[in-house]
Structure 1
Amino acid sequence: MLTRIQNGHRIDPALGVDRVGDVWIKDGKIVPSCEVQTGSANNPRTLDASDCIVMAGGIDLHTHIGGGKLTLARLLLEEPAKPSRDLLPTAPVVAQRYLDMGYTTCFEPAVIPCNARSAHAEMAEIRGIDTGGFCLLGNDDLLMQLLADNAPQSVINDYVAWMVMATQCIAVKVVNPGGISAFKFNQRRLDVDTPHPRYGVTPSTIVRRLCRAVSEIGLAHPLHVHCSNLGVPGNIESTLKTIDAADGFPIHLAHAQFHCYGNNGPYAMTSAAAKLVDAIDRNPHVTIDVGQVMFGQTVTISADSMHQFHNIRYANPRKSILVDVECEAGCGVVPFRYRRRQFVHSLQWAIGLELFLMIDDPARVFLTTDHPNGAPFTTYPHLIRLLCDRAFRETALAEIDPEAAAASSLAGIDREYTLGEIAIMTRSAPAAILGLSGIGDLAIGSSADVVVYEKNRNFETMFAQPKFVLKNGVLVRGKGSVSTEPSGSITHTANVEFNPKTIATLANRYESFSAMAMSRLQISDDEMQASLGTVPVKHASQTKHRAFH
């Protein structure tokens, strides 16, 4: 079918386009108007986009949508009077709500290798949304032993590359480097320079070796780091040390709001957003996503069992789950309510907005709530309004805890995000940092993931209710038309290389640390399609990064 999106204001930062024009779609791809043939055979469906903004489909860089932890959270919170479906929707509902906002691609940032099949199977049920995963390393015992033995970097590189390939992932994530493992040896805190109680390896060593491995094997996305001491007052020092540990290699700090606290003031907790922004300005190899806190009930789910153990006392309602995962990672599920008039929660909300508004380059800060840890992803339209509408933001600031508001610099920030900056942060920049081709833009030949938003001074209404959403050229949301629910699933993966001889040697060692053979982790392309119901799309490895020394 030939489709014409007519008279819309196209905003496509990847192409430098910000003007009124048409978008032509054929066979699921964007095509040039000059190739559209006239005549009876090509009678296009026309979608009127007058007085509307046209963007590529949104890309969520960091959202917890698969891997078993959500099932645990639903079981924990499910009560007859208070069903969890609104807070933790099932996979089909996740797809519906993302499409309702104009998002078409989402990435699960914590795929544990031994549980990768389950993660991909869950994500395959999110029909109509393309997905991908980040392979979780940095607390697995074989890697810890290799680092303790000071194994050559080539061996570390081969191990990391094989794990990414085997788990059909696109990037590498490390959560509380070494800390999850140390927790199992009865250590309750592990700072960046603290040796592991068994292996003697420090978190800084783990970060440095993994950053280098990710760079040298050619992954587009930098090492995705959940830093040490999440949520602890004064943890800005750990965060800055983590940046230093990257040794000039590209590094991405996940949910940076949770790692951006000072320890001064009457409550021994202050905003350290200015310190982190200064470090980002001085280090061009650093990017972040924010992990914005929004007020209301949510549930925190994390592989960081050390942190979740500390959070059990704050559970609301008073229940929790804490588990070990096959000597590879952990999992903690703790329900939580962020309260508008509570000092710490209000300050967290303000710190996240400070990071968004103080980082000049929207290509280096990504819109996330660390769903569901800071808030459900369905709060994105509200968050966008906070960024784009200063008057609305000031009204919201006046409603939080007054001492937190006074401790924040938010009131003095005039900046309002433009629609072009929103498009960078949620479309072109995520595609670029993940090395994705053919999505995140409106270029000729790209997938026809296109969203049409009606212009509205209320940005929350605008981004919560698109006029049209097309996925691969199929109209899946549209006012005044019959929408078609998309089918099928695509998984974005990385194409990396490794030395098979190294892997054969490591496989023998792996069995001494694990309950299964290393070969059992590998998921073939055929299995992805036949058993898990998703089609892997491999993205070529990138040119090797250069360190910024």
Structure 2
Amino acid sequence: MGYLVLENGTVHDPQNGIDGEVRTLWIENGKVVPPPTEDNPVIARRIDCRGYVIMPGGVDMHCHIAGPKVNIGRQMTPEYRRDEGIPRAEGRRSATGGLLPSCVGTGYMFAGLGYTTAMDAAIPGLHARHAHEDLLDTPLLDKGFYLLFGNNQFVMDRIREERHDCLDAYLAWSLGSTSAYGVKVVNPGGVENWKQVSRKTVQQLEEPVPGFGVSPRSIVRNLAASVDRLKLPHSVHIHCNNLGVPGNSETTLHTMQALEGHRGHFAHTQFHSYAGDENDPASFRSAVPRLAEYVNANSNITIDVGHVNPGKTLGITGDAPFGYFLSKLTGNRWYAADSELEASCGVIPMEFQPQKVLVHAIQWAAALEWYLLMEDPWRVAMSSDHPNGGAIFRYPEVIHLLMDSAFRREAIARMHKTLGDRTILGDLDREYSMNEIAIITRAAPAKMLGLKHKGHLGNGADADVTIYTPSPNRTEMFQRPRYVVQAGRVIVEDGELGGEVFGKLFTVNPSLDDGQLPVIQKWFDDAHTIRFRNFAIDRQHLGEVETVATS
């Protein structure tokens, strides 16, 4: 063994206040360490980084990479499984690429772009075992997932009864039993109602969920409060009601207000930021400025954007009602799963054509508006809701659009000719700096997740490092890192995978008071809810696990 030394690179490490300084990084045992004091330290490898840009490894806090929904997507779209997005890997395992690669291909694709951490955005409790099997077979990444709660019957019953102690105990027990990382809410109450014979979702935030007597507002507020009481490292992760519907910005704003000061992370906000009349598709336009003003003024809220890219993609969502709506709108093939789940999922192939379709152009522009209107880049994370808005290998193009206003104007000119009447994107001249890109792709998502050793290069940080060759063409620069280091191991070199290693799983395990678990167990026994027992995961089959402190 010995040190890995990255010499004289131009470092962008926003968390430690380093913005383009020439520095040398010393790495030992998977961690960034201070320079050694001994005269002749043992050096395993030196890499000359003169002229290169060094950043922490990328962190994608909202993507879909594991579980049955992803496998269904692969089965539905064999025509999408191509080599695009997969770096060369001589001597590595075979892997399919495209929009939704195999588990192996997913690890290769993320690492090939400089990403070393990824969090799956939505796993039902009964699918946790499957998700862990997928994550265990995904190389080169540290990872975890959020567990779905927003349509859980036990949760809604306890909220109606105002049994906050039982709600807290149930969330803690579920997260620990499934080895999950955070609490996810998708279309609160709406998915449960849609699963009934009526096939109707809940559209109004104050509308009671039939049979439960609680509203989406109450679900969001109570789950956010419970997450804060449990001191989970990541706030409640919210997918609002009325995704994709004209006028849904009102729902989004009211959901933000429903937090009542509690922490809340709003996922793929672009898809929830539209003005207009839901009965008049022609009224569709961006409402980002109003929402961004509210988020800028309320520090308890963080977001990831959910940008879209032109071209084919695949909708994978815990919001099955929305998938059903899209299937009726487009006539595309569609899949839903909800049997025995207190959650749901929908899968549907899609294609964004912003050059031809005005709605798609507005969605493309609204995402860029979110990036450009957020005053504090530490509260916004880059995300396409992979693969929903486009696969992760399209991120470099979005970075280019943010850093180069001339390039952005050229792109706007290629979009639908009436786009300028529905958004303010053309009036925004802001350009992101290299340091701000490092924030929204690395430092900010790590901070939002509470991963204190990720997203930076200070002493004690995980030695996840991405090294880029500078170029004025930012798409080319970020498409192919020169080197990628994960936990101190060089995994990508000159665009080729240099070795296959397996990262760790992030979990939380909130403690329960002595009297809480028996109360939960009694409720399960009384209700004969045997399915709850099936949540429990045997940790010896999870590989390396890091349990993040809940304080």
With normalisation by structure 1, the TM-score equals 0.93
* Unpaired stretches in structure 1, ≥5 consecutive residues: 529-533, 543-549
Contact preservation (8 Å) 1:315, 1:335: no
1:311-350 → structure 2 map (5 Å cutoff): 311-315=326-330, 318-340=332-354, 341-350=356-365
2:266 to 250, 253, 262: 253
Offset, 1:189: 3.0
Aligned counterpart, 2:164: 153
Aligned counterpart, 2:460: 445
Offset, 1:506: 2.4
Aligned counterpart, 1:11: 12
Contact preservation (8 Å) 1:511, 1:518: no
1:446-465 → structure 2 map (5 Å cutoff): 446-465=461-480
1:506 to 498, 516, 520: 520
1:65-104 → structure 2 map (5 Å cutoff): 65-79=65-79, 85-104=97-116
In structure 2, the CA distance between the partners of 1:339 and 1:483, relative to structure 1 (3 Å rule), is closer
Contact preservation (8 Å) 2:308, 2:389: yes
Contact preservation (8 Å) 2:7, 2:46: yes
- Deviations along 1:382-422, one digit per CA (max 9) or x if unpaired, are 11111111111111100010112332211110101111111
Offset, 1:124: 1.3
- Deviations along 1:59-112, one digit per CA (max 9) or x if unpaired, are 001000011101111111225998984121001111111111110000001121
Distance 1:478 1:79 in 2: 30
Aligned counterpart, 1:51: 51
Aligned counterpart, 1:541: 550
In structure 2, the CA distance between the partners of 1:478 and 1:175, relative to structure 1 (3 Å rule), is same
Aligned counterpart, 2:193: 182
What letter corresponds to residue 328 of structure 1 in structure 2?
Answer: E
Distance 2:489 2:341 in 1: 44
2:179 to 157, 168, 172: 168
1:361-510 → structure 2 map (5 Å cutoff): 361-479=376-494, 484-510=498-524
In structure 2, the CA distance between the partners of 1:411 and 1:536, relative to structure 1 (3 Å rule), is same
What letter corresponds to residue 129 of structure 1 in structure 2?
Answer: L
Distance 1:107 1:82 in 2: 24
Distance 2:329 2:281 in 1: 21
Offset, 1:315: 4.2
Distance 2:120 2:276 in 1: 32
SS in 2 for 1:269: strand
- Deviations along 1:127-168, one digit per CA (max 9) or x if unpaired, are 1100011111011111122223x2321221111111111111
Distance 2:390 2:403 in 1: 19
Aligned counterpart, 1:108: 120
SS in 1 for 2:444: helix
Alignment coverage as a number of residue pairs: 532
Distance 2:311 2:29 in 1: 43
Identity %: 33
- Deviations along 1:448-474, one digit per CA (max 9) or x if unpaired, are 111111111011111111111111111
- After superposing the two structures, state which structure 1 stretch, 398-407 or 500-509, moved more: 500-509
* Unpaired stretches in structure 2, ≥5 consecutive residues: 84-95
Aligned counterpart, 1:61: 61
- Deviations along 1:234-280, one digit per CA (max 9) or x if unpaired, are 00110011011111101111000000000069811111001111111
1:241 corresponds to 2:254 = yes
In structure 2, the CA distance between the partners of 1:52 and 1:502, relative to structure 1 (3 Å rule), is same
Distance 1:527 1:500 in 2: 28
Distance 1:80 1:50 in 2: 39
Contact preservation (8 Å) 1:326, 1:515: no
Distance 1:491 1:215 in 2: 23
CA RMSD of superposed structures (Å): 2.0
Distance 1:242 1:62 in 2: 19
In structure 2, the CA distance between the partners of 1:221 and 1:358, relative to structure 1 (3 Å rule), is same
Offset, 1:348: 0.4
Distance 1:189 1:125 in 2: 36
In structure 2, the CA distance between the partners of 1:81 and 1:51, relative to structure 1 (3 Å rule), is closer
1:279 corresponds to 2:297 = no
Contact preservation (8 Å) 1:207, 1:242: yes
Contact preservation (8 Å) 2:324, 2:334: no
